[in-house]
Structure 1
């Protein structure tokens, strides 16, 4: 896990080298162990340079720096790869980046991990490749030399890759299948910049940020971000998960020459032809192997543990794998707990800890620290975030950092492929059954769901019938059902001009099809946002977060299954519960409730209304042309006096105002 800074000049343009170092320094926490640069100046000279954090190198290593970048600050360059290293695999100088092979004909700056690098290395050796290091980076670059862009299909991991191919005078860039690792770009009059985080661009002389009104509207009204290639900054975009581009240096004259294409598409067609029992067996095998691969590291590895199904599954499998190698004493777990019983999952956490014999560490996120750290977390996130649960996640990584743990496994991605959000997926499943005419199954599922979750049957049936009607009818009845609690008159009239179709629906959420909704959630909507938050929270503490549920083999397998393998008999994530029977504690596998890294936000708001109101007013006054201040305050007062139900919308306003002011954004 690392950080990257890249510049590619338009033809007949250049940049002073100092700006690449400034970009790299902005993300020192992403790679505190090492620093390096590969530059090509306007006279076509190669420069392999060190920075202030570079470690001592062996001159026998061909890509070892031989000068300090300070000596090149004013040098005009047309290509630059900058890198910050968090040492995870091969901690020696051979893991330094940018790394080169083939007498300097190929150079790479890479962020992430390719977990199957050991198997790929053996395959490449059969083709005649030799290796100097034990790192996955050298394997990636050799794979590119062997297979070109098709090498991406060989990789099982998370990555943002930049390769300078000198032989073909081009730069190849790619992001992993599901966008676990970030890759942003910004264009000015000199060329294009790529970076791991948006804040790196703030160090450029041309930086003058403006608000992307549509993305801001989607966040404030719908609570959604990272759902397109656009960002909250009008000038910054990102490669989406599964996208790549190749830039021909001698034909790169402007933005129109940037052609981004999709290298990965998730297959959603059901093609699993065996029974449920066999599916459970295959799920267990694939999941265990996904966790096993993600234990490969030369540093301490631990896991987040919320007490829910996803993180508990990871910890239980980790315990089994470590016990096989008599290394169970190395299993550390990190959890956020609460002093408010309804938000505390310690009962379930302790069950997993006892069963796995893990060394457990706990933290108790509190309100005072939330506001104390609000600006710091916002700075690291680069964009506003949706709820204070991001602070709870931050606290867990802070705890892991205190225990000197460098790699953490976490459960992101499970809900988006196993239909884990009960309120969303059960209703869609009911709608799907009714629309397809499976009336008996529909009635049985309603009965089981009511028995287990105590739902309002009449409202659920009404929603199922409503899902069969055109959008206009749905909107009218939705209001009658209380779905539209607020109008948007808390936003400035001019800002409302940017309103649009619900972005969830625009990105493929289908109220009558579970699989289509899962696809939209994993490829466009929910998952991208969660991965953004996780990447920033973990890397702020120099920790690599790994997500076994997003092993592409597991994802593709789960998408080959019918909906009733995931939702059945009133139970979500059915195949996970049954597939890990005997591994997961019964108390966890039969658990129906779900919290995750939740905070008692509603209690905090109502018991500390003065503090929240103070921060709310600060946010409103930071961007007066966006919010209708009097209406926001009125809604806030109604919430704390219980005249209106609580909504996370309040936090989004506070977070947005903090971000807008901190990054000095303009309308």
Structure 2
């Protein structure tokens, strides 16, 4: 498009659609509204039907039955505030032809991705996947050394706006920008539009039990809106089992009753197999269940394709288990899968939150409660008191400058290892899992819930899930990340979330009668996992050694030969097993696949 000299610009919008709502051509994109606004959009606004009726009362008319057109009408009606009206997941760009302004936004938690890159040849490009930039003039990928360090040492990605590609950035969850195209130089005026206020909810526990179930059920119900077939992931853990069971309850009286399908990854190694719990959930339910057993040969066959779709290295082979689940869903003509992602972070559901809770109680000088929780951890989870003390102190020390110096002295081998040439990539020793951004007046436990939700854990998991699902043209939906649930659960008292060394305390109580007791009361946690330790130490030790040697060769000196020594010590049991070797392997493969170079 072009106008007078002041408004001259060049803009191209392209979109490849996965049709879920309104399958007709009227839902295609780029879409125009009122001959003024143009949009490209990825995601779903689940409350589009309610918003559509509200907007009609304000005089808006619609040519399609899609949520895309509702977004455009909402922006025309409410401007930036339209974002607060949406329940869902999205990444979109809206261009206003009258003002010449471009509006970009990402949903509250970053479920859907939005990357951008300023080419040295004068282009500003946006994409849902980094690999799209490889087709644009000026692409010459360079490793981001600091982000590479964070991944290799701490196993963390997507915790900042930077990616592992230098100069490639992402909008984080809850961010937006509005800018006049003619004003764009080499940065974007990105701002935060969403955060959660700490407003402690003081209500009886029994009331919270009922409220949690109601909110989760309402979220699942609205996430079932679709014009295509829907299924569910089912790992046998608490989160996915709750979704499957609530869907079964919601749809049991539907006429005609739609087939309920589930998809599960299992293992031939009993230690990593959850079929016992999956079958308990399926028992006495009319559910079409599908199972897949990812094996090491399949991983070898699909690895380059998985890495290409993921765009960046991923921290364990468990991503292959998830990949296999989506592949199986594709083979069974399912285009939407509901998944349990996002249930853990706001409620402190991971096992390390036990230690965070102990540390939080210590900082608040709640000594009787601390002693009670420590005793329960020892009894229920067989944790030694020395381990509890050591692990809890880490979360105190890592959040102050003196403490980090102590950790540096005691953990030098792990945070500055011999196998990594840190100077070659210009990386500083960091503690990205510490609370770099805190909210005043909030206890340590709640601050970590925030941190895990918006930075340290959830963004990477959403990245993996989005890329795996999109590889098979499947839309993954995460009902636990309805912001009404997240805002509610994160503001409940801590002892509603974790108590007597039991995580997800209020959630477990709310699911009485919905889940088999052996599932509801499970204390272990896996999700879709692979027997990576067994593969690496027993079944395919030589194969992984070959992978490691290849990664060292392709890392351009970043990974040093000492990594082989580390591998040998790990497979012989001299060092405890960790995902570090896998991270080294996939990092080297990533550098080769995407032709990454080091900035000289």
TM bucket normalised to smaller: over 0.9
The residue matched to 2:12 in structure 1 has which SS?
Answer: strand
Match of 1:71 in 2: none
For 2:281 and 2:268, how far apart are their aligned partners in 1? 20
Deviates further, 165-174 or 323-332: 323-332
1:278 and 2:207 matched: yes
1:41–1:79 CA contact under 8 A, matched in 2: no
How far is the alpha carbon of 1:322 from its aligned partner? 1.1
1:444 and 2:444 matched: no
Deviates further, 451-460 or 564-573: 451-460
Match of 1:98 in 2: 30
Deviates further, 496-505 or 204-213: 496-505
Query: How many equivalent residue pairs?
Result: 590
How far is the alpha carbon of 1:649 from its aligned partner? 0.4
Match of 1:259 in 2: 189
- The partner residue of 1:624 within 540, 543, 556 is 556
Match of 2:508 in 1: 577
1:42–1:78 CA contact under 8 A, matched in 2: no
RMSD between aligned residues: 2.1
1:182 and 2:113 matched: yes
Match of 1:322 in 2: 251
Deviations 1:587-637 (A, max 9, x none): 2111111111111101100121110011111111001320111x1011111
Structure 1: unaligned runs, 5 residues or longer = 1-39, 45-75
The residue matched to 1:494 in structure 2 has which SS?
Answer: helix
For 1:332 and 1:178, how far apart are their aligned partners in 2? 27
How far is the alpha carbon of 1:84 from its aligned partner? 0.7
How far is the alpha carbon of 1:430 from its aligned partner? 0.9
Question: 1:211-230 alignment to 2 at 5 Å?
Answer: 211-230=143-162
The residue matched to 1:501 in structure 2 has which SS?
Answer: coil
1:351 and 2:280 matched: yes
For 1:548 and 1:560, how far apart are their aligned partners in 2? 18
Deviations 1:167-205 (A, max 9, x none): 222111101000000000011232311111000000012
How far is the alpha carbon of 1:327 from its aligned partner? 5.5
Query: Given the superposition, is the C-alpha separation of residues 42 and 382 from structure 1 closer, same or farther in structure 2, using an over 3 Å criterion?
Result: farther
1:185–1:238 CA contact under 8 A, matched in 2: yes
How far is the alpha carbon of 1:442 from its aligned partner? 1.5
Match of 1:294 in 2: 223
How far is the alpha carbon of 1:368 from its aligned partner? 0.9
Question: 1:79-90 alignment to 2 at 5 Å?
Answer: 79-90=11-22
How far is the alpha carbon of 1:473 from its aligned partner? 5.3
The residue matched to 1:84 in structure 2 has which SS?
Answer: coil
How far is the alpha carbon of 1:508 from its aligned partner? 4.3
For 2:137 and 2:386, how far apart are their aligned partners in 1? 60
Question: 1:471-550 alignment to 2 at 5 Å?
Answer: 472=402, 476=406, 487-492=416-421, 494-495=423-424, 497-505=426-434, 507-508=436-437, 513-550=444-481
How far is the alpha carbon of 1:458 from its aligned partner? 2.8
Match of 2:318 in 1: 389
Structure 2: unaligned runs, 5 residues or longer = none
Match of 2:347 in 1: 418
For 1:278 and 1:311, how far apart are their aligned partners in 2? 23
Query: Given the superposition, is the C-alpha separation of residues 327 and 571 from structure 1 closer, same or farther in structure 2, using an over 3 Å criterion?
Result: farther
Query: Given the superposition, is the C-alpha separation of residues 486 and 178 from structure 1 closer, same or farther in structure 2, using an over 3 Å criterion?
Result: closer
For 2:134 and 2:394, how far apart are their aligned partners in 1? 48
RCO (CA 8 Å, sep 6+): is it higher in 1 or 2? 2
Query: Given the superposition, is the C-alpha separation of residues 476 and 186 from structure 1 closer, same or farther in structure 2, using an over 3 Å criterion?
Result: closer
1:428–1:512 CA contact under 8 A, matched in 2: no
Deviates further, 641-650 or 402-411: 641-650
For 1:220 and 1:466, how far apart are their aligned partners in 2? 20
Query: Given the superposition, is the C-alpha separation of residues 512 and 609 from structure 1 closer, same or farther in structure 2, using an over 3 Å criterion?
Result: farther
How far is the alpha carbon of 1:472 from its aligned partner? 4.0
How far is the alpha carbon of 1:266 from its aligned partner? 1.7
Match of 2:128 in 1: 196
Query: Given the superposition, is the C-alpha separation of residues 623 and 496 from structure 1 closer, same or farther in structure 2, using an over 3 Å criterion?
Result: closer
For 1:101 and 1:533, how far apart are their aligned partners in 2? 33
How far is the alpha carbon of 1:494 from its aligned partner? 2.4
Deviates further, 653-662 or 468-477: 468-477
Query: Given the superposition, is the C-alpha separation of residues 166 and 604 from structure 1 closer, same or farther in structure 2, using an over 3 Å criterion?
Result: same
Match of 1:365 in 2: 294
Deviations 1:559-600 (A, max 9, x none): 111111110011001111111222222221111111111111
1:124–1:142 CA contact under 8 A, matched in 2: yes
The residue matched to 1:418 in structure 2 has which SS?
Answer: coil
How far is the alpha carbon of 1:496 from its aligned partner? 6.6
Query: Given the superposition, is the C-alpha separation of residues 381 and 462 from structure 1 closer, same or farther in structure 2, using an over 3 Å criterion?
Result: closer
Deviations 1:399-455 (A, max 9, x none): 000000000000111110121111x10001011112212222122222222222111
1:340 and 2:257 matched: no
Match of 1:432 in 2: 360
The residue matched to 2:89 in structure 1 has which SS?
Answer: strand
The residue matched to 1:416 in structure 2 has which SS?
Answer: coil
Q: Provide the TM-score with structure 1 as the length reference.
A: 0.85
Query: Given the superposition, is the C-alpha separation of residues 164 and 487 from structure 1 closer, same or farther in structure 2, using an over 3 Å criterion?
Result: closer
The residue matched to 1:244 in structure 2 has which SS?
Answer: strand
For 2:559 and 2:504, how far apart are their aligned partners in 1? 40
2:9–2:182 CA contact under 8 A, matched in 1: no
Question: 1:4-15 alignment to 2 at 5 Å?
Answer: none
- The partner residue of 1:604 within 522, 535, 545 is 535
For 1:175 and 1:626, how far apart are their aligned partners in 2? 34
1:615 and 2:544 matched: no
1:303–1:409 CA contact under 8 A, matched in 2: yes
1:466–1:474 CA contact under 8 A, matched in 2: no
Match of 1:118 in 2: 49
